[in-house]
Amino acid sequence: MPSAMRKSTTTSLPQRLAAAAVALGSCLALAVPAGTATAAPADPVPTVFFGDSYTANFGIAPVKDHDSERGWCFQTTKNYPAVATQRLADKNITLDVQADVSCGGALIHHFWQEQELPFGAGKVPAQQDALKDNTRLVVGGMGGNTLGFTSILKQCSDELRKHPLLPGEPVDPDKPAGECKDFFESEDAKAWLDYQFQQVEGDLEQILMRMSYFAPDAERVLVGYPRLVPEDTTRCLTAAPGQTELPFADIPKDALPLLDQVQKRLDDVMKKAAADDGADFVDLYDRTGNNTACDGANRGIGGLLETSKLDLFGQPIPWYGHPNDKGRDIQAKYVAAKIETVLNR
């Protein structure tokens, strides 16, 4: 069994939920379910945005709080929460944004635990600290980092293994990147994926539960991830206009369907977690099949090694498969529509 797999110790879902109950206190059972608005309120809606790099919109400039440690979250001033808020304001629906605590690299457990920033830059508080008794709307997405999606990408790419800014290590660094399809079809790799998804499921249950506890009157909207790989993977064999690298760099063509299957499974897990806990879900995967990283001028995802709008110490930073401006606007469109529906029901 690969060394990276041996490091994991499985914790059962009942154990995690029991631990959460202890952490939240005996009043947890009395937590009030998320309230239901009967109409879009005339007054501003106290709102908190949370999430990882797909909510922070890593790769889009300028970076918010660039002169403080929070700058290492790579949250842009024009991320989808900001754009969605403006879209809603244009319809006379005003969000009183109490905080946007989305941060690149965040795992689900960073909702309730502080997060260490890269290169020893410091720490940011648990994202749940932004919730208040009067918060009425909580919106954002997490899951990909807990799943270890960047580890999967690095398992399949020699080029990405050279990039320290991209968090995570290959699942098994001793296995060649060119053999990643065979690797992920092995029993050990399947067991690793099953464990990672079990972790995501349990952590999503806890995050939704904590939202209800700390913001008992809030509507909760969990936002999924846009699709990265198209159904027709031959589209990934052509570089985007003006680019020299393929959208998925040196990842073997036979591994691309695997990446898509993993992402679809994550989308299904997130959708089920929201449904099971009475939260709303924004399904971006099903709406972005024509805006993947392989869709040329229509791509909503920047290629793995395509230069983003950011640089670090004078060196350009790749998109690493994150939404570009077009993709950000797609995120904002569907998130704003869901918020409008939630506030009007």
Q: Using an 8 Å Cβ cutoff, are 41 and 217 in contact? A: no
C-alpha–C-alpha distance, residues 99 and 130, integer Å = 6
Catalytic residues: 53, 105, 145, 322
Beta-carbon-side half-sphere exposure of residue 299 (alpha carbons within 13 Å): 30
Buried b (16+ CB within 10 A) or exposed e, 292-318: bbbbeeebbbbbbbbebbbeeeeeebb
Q: Using an 8 Å Cβ cutoff, are 73 and 123 in contact? A: no
Beta-carbon-side half-sphere exposure of residue 59 (alpha carbons within 13 Å): 27
Cα Rg, the chain, nearest whole Å: 20
| DSSP conformation letters of 98-155 | EEE---TT--GGGGTS-EEPGGG--EE--GGGG--TT--EEEEE--HHHHTHHHHHHH
* Nearest residue to 222 via CA among 345, 138, 288: 138
Q: What are the Cα distances from residue 250, in Å, to 114, 156, 211, 239, 302? A: 35, 8, 40, 12, 15
Determine the distance from the C-alpha atom of residue 43 to the mean position of all C-alpha atoms in its chain, rounded to a whole number: 30
Give me the phi and psi of 46, to 5 degrees please: -60, 120
